[in-house]
Chains A and B, each alone.
Chain A
């Protein structure tokens, strides 16, 4: 389980694969203004990134080394 929800914060960690997209989406549906922390994320699947972008979720602690994903989250 890579998705952990705190008050006002959603924490992603480790390898975030396709199955993490749904819990992330549910967390953001519950709290539209939640900040998503990416501290400790080593990989993001397209499905997860798609949720982050579509929800326009504010991000925190974006790791520097996420390969191609860096272009998408830098927006």
Chain B
């Protein structure tokens, strides 16, 4: 099959689905500006795409649908239930035509679908010329052009062409031309004969302009104006689209993997140079220079490939507003959802992996966070709960903040529930700080809902959401104020191909630790380590941090005495220091997911190759500590 067609069959159906989803929203709330915008974009893009194929009836129909949505966007003709139903029928028809195109059938115009939509008119050269010459005010977007040539005797019949033109809605421009091509000399001008042709532009749709001229329809030509500047960013022109190369995501992944190998290969030069130093210092210098140059090129290449893998979060998150409405409706809650920064670009892997856990947090916020209207009213809050999602980039991370103005999380209730569920005993629960207690919601088997609802209780808990985010090397922070609401803050890396690894030495072995998981590395004297209960602790910046021994965690022997090197990480929202024997180099490398036997070993994220070709186990510190 032709590549272009194959692409269109995928994209076209996506766009139909997108528009249908928006229309489903509009069926509930025909004034939903976001849905109108989104449906408009989808229909606009779809119209552009069908133009590439032999689908003229679809193009005409979608053009009409676009007009209807455009008027709704500008508020000149709000949608009603009937219009939405018609638009749904239009897209169904388009979908059938796409099926027909795939089968190789002819695209036959369906009069029924076309007739119900507003009239359209062909575009015309004179109308384009008029548009080009017109001095339009800011924000004036003509949709329709008219060329009215009143018949010469119209004055005798009592017609005033200007009065008729005065009835054209949203008149944006008007010119008077001599109907005969040039104005007659004054002596030859016949004052009771109309010798003028009026041409003008209107911001109203074709049908409305045609209605204004209905008494003189035989003297008027009406043309649709093609939209010049793309009214929305997503509505790219077809010529721009051809400049975009669509590549199978798997190939980009393969490119990323190969590049990861190249990074590793380039890292091998450093130890060679170090060995060569002892034999031939000058040659070692040359190798170092070559290494530096290769390093720079590889880094540049890495940036380029990373950029190629970057995608906007928008396609992933565009379902979210509708899902929020659906979930809220299902739970009988009134929720206003606000989403910002959803066009932020992230690595494809992150974009794909973010949706499920985020949706779970959203469900959780609507189900457990936002209270019923009656409770909200009693608390003096607006009846409608507010849920906001904000996505922002901070350096190499994206920060996804989901906030609600609901009841907040009550640490006491969480403790009680966790004890009741047998997740923790009473003493341990009391020992937890409020912040730590709140994090108990991430424990497997935790659910505060007295009744398992159809929405939140699907067998996937908050623990699954956290695990999914951690698989993306992200973290979740919770900030909750009882009575005022809860804020979930997700931090995720923007790029995902290579990971910066710190090599640590433990019990004679070398392991890798992702830099993302390291809060800091510190060297302390033996006297800084103090016994705390059965364990050891260290005071870092006035905070007491428990110290665990990494060798012991990995099943080896305990440490020797003396000073300690500590790797400080964050687990379950609290700082934990891990004692290691030494810190090695930092490398930028590809971490391969564990396979085979390794996959079953807890606390291992994967394996990485070092510059010298050794295989490092990359540790997952939070999991080891937990």
- Assuming A28-B186, A45-B162, A68-B162, is B192 touching A50 (CB within 8 A)? no
Bound CA–CA A28/B189 (angstroms): 11
- Per-residue 0/1 for B438-457: is the Cβ within 8 Å of any A Cβ (1 yes, 0 no)? 00000000000000000000
Chain B 187-212 interface 0/1 with A at a Cβ cutoff of 8 Å (1 = within): 10101101110001000000000000
| Chain B interface extent, by class | 20 to 34
Known A29-B186, A46-B150, A46-B160: A72·B176 in contact at CB below 8 Å: yes
B194 adjacent to A54 (CB under 8 Å): no
| Contact A46 B196, CB 8 Å, known A29-B186, A54-B183, A54-B186 | yes
Pair B150/A21 contact, Cβ less than 8 Å? no
Tell me whether B160 and A25 are in contact (CB under 8 A): no
Q: In the complex, identify which listed stretch (B114-122, B166-174, B573-581, B608-616) lies at the interface while the others stay far away.
A: B166-174
- CA separation between A71 and B184, bound complex, in Å? 22
Give the docked Cα–Cα distance between A44 and B174 (Å).
15
Cβ-defined partner of B171 (8 Å) among A22, A29, A68: A68
B153 to chain A, nearest CB (A): 12
Give the distance in Å from the alpha carbon of A28 to the alpha carbon of B626 in the complex.
98
Choice from A29, A53, A55, A68 contacting B166 with Cβ under 8 Å: A68
Confirm or deny: A18 has a beta carbon within 8 angstroms of a beta carbon on chain B. Answer: yes
Q: A45-B160, A46-B161, A50-B194 are known contacts. Are A25 and B175 too (CB-CB below 8 A)?
A: no
CA distance A68 to B166 in the complex (A): 5
Given contacts A29-B187, A54-B186, A55-B186, contact A46 B192 (CB under 8 A): no
Interchain CA distance A19-B183 in the complex, whole Å: 20
Main secondary structure of the interface of A (DSSP, over half): helix
- Interface of chain A residues 29 through 72 with chain B (CB within 8 A): 29, 32, 44-47, 49-51, 53-55, 67-69, 71-72
- Find chain B residues with CB under 8 A from A46 CB: 150, 155, 160-163, 194, 196
Contact call A49/B176, Cβ cutoff below 8 A: yes
Among candidates A18, A50, A69, A71, residue contacting B196 with C-beta atoms closer than 8 Å: A50
Interface size class of A (residues with CB under 8 A): 20 to 34
> Quick check: is B178 within 8 A (CB to CB) of the other chain?
yes
Q: Least Cβ distance of A51 to chain B in Å?
A: 6
Bound together, the chains give a CA A43 to CA B175 distance in angstroms of: 18
A62 → chain B, closest Cβ, in Å?
15
Write out the residue numbers on chain B whose beta carbons fall within 8 Å of the beta carbon of A22. Answer: 191-192
A contact residues around B162 at 8 Å (CB):
44-46, 49, 67-69
Q: Are A53 and B192 in contact (CB under 8 A)?
A: no
Contact B196 A53, beta carbon cutoff 8 Å: yes
**Nearest Cβ distance between residue B159 and chain A, in whole angstroms?**
8
- Shortest CB–CB separation between residue B148 and chain A, in angstroms? 10
Query: Is B165 an interface position by the 8 A CB rule?
Result: yes
A47 touches B191 (CB 8 A): yes
Chain A residues within an 8 Å CB radius of B195? 50, 54
A75 and B183 CA atoms in complex are apart in Å by 15
Q: Bound complex: CA of A29 vs CA of B186, how far in Å?
A: 6
**Residues in chain B near residue A44, CB distance under 8 A:** 162
> Are B186 and A21 touching (Cβ within 8 A)?
no
Query: Which A residues are in CB contact (< 8 Å) with B184?
Result: 54
Residues of B within 8 A of A55 (CB): 186, 189
- State which residues 395-438 of B face A: CB under 8 Å: none
Interface string of A5-23 (1 = CB under 8 A from B): 0000000000000100110
Rounded to whole angstroms, the CA-CA distance of A50 and B183 in the bound complex is 9
Known: A32-B186, A54-B184. A47 touches B176 (CB 8 A): no
Contact B175 A51 (CB under 8 A): no
Whole-angstrom distance between the Cβ of A30 and the nearest chain B Cβ: 10
Most buried by B among A18, A21, A24, A25: A18
Set of chain A residues within 8 Å of B200, measured between Cβ atoms = 68, 71
Q: A25-B191, A68-B165 known; A18 and B178 CB under 8 Å? A: no
B567 to chain A, nearest CB (A): 76
In chain A, what residue has the closest Cβ to B196?
A50
Inter-chain contact A25/B189, CB cutoff 8 Å: yes
In whole angstroms, what is the CA distance A29 to B163 when docked?
27
B163: chain A residues at CB < 8 Å are: 46
Q: Mark out the residues of chain B between 122 and 162 whose CB falls within 8 Å of any chain A CB in the assembled complex.
A: 150, 155, 160-162
Known: A18-B155, A44-B162. A53 touches B183 (CB 8 A): yes
Q: CA A14 – CA B184 in complex, angstroms?
A: 27
Q: Which of A18, A28, A32, A50 contacts B176 (CB 8 A)?
A: A50
Known: A25-B189, A68-B171, A72-B174. 15 other contacts (CB 8 A): A18-B192, A28-B186, A45-B162, A46-B161, A46-B194, A49-B176, A50-B189, A51-B189, A54-B184, A54-B195, A55-B186, A67-B166, A68-B174, A69-B162, A71-B171
In the A-B complex, the 8 residue pairs with the closest CB atoms: A71-B174, A21-B191, A54-B183, A46-B162, A68-B166, A46-B161, A22-B191, A67-B166
Chain A contacts to B: CB under 8 angstroms: 18, 21-22, 24-25, 28-29, 32, 44-47, 49-51, 53-55, 67-69, 71-72, 75
Interface residues of B (CB under 8 A from A): 150, 155, 160-163, 165-166, 168, 171, 173-176, 178, 183-184, 186-187, 189, 191-192, 194-196, 200
A-B contact pairs, 21 of them (CB 8 A): A21-B191, A22-B192, A24-B191, A28-B186, A45-B155, A46-B163, A46-B194, A47-B155, A47-B160, A49-B196, A50-B189, A50-B194, A50-B196, A51-B189, A53-B176, A53-B196, A54-B178, A55-B189, A67-B166, A68-B174, A72-B176
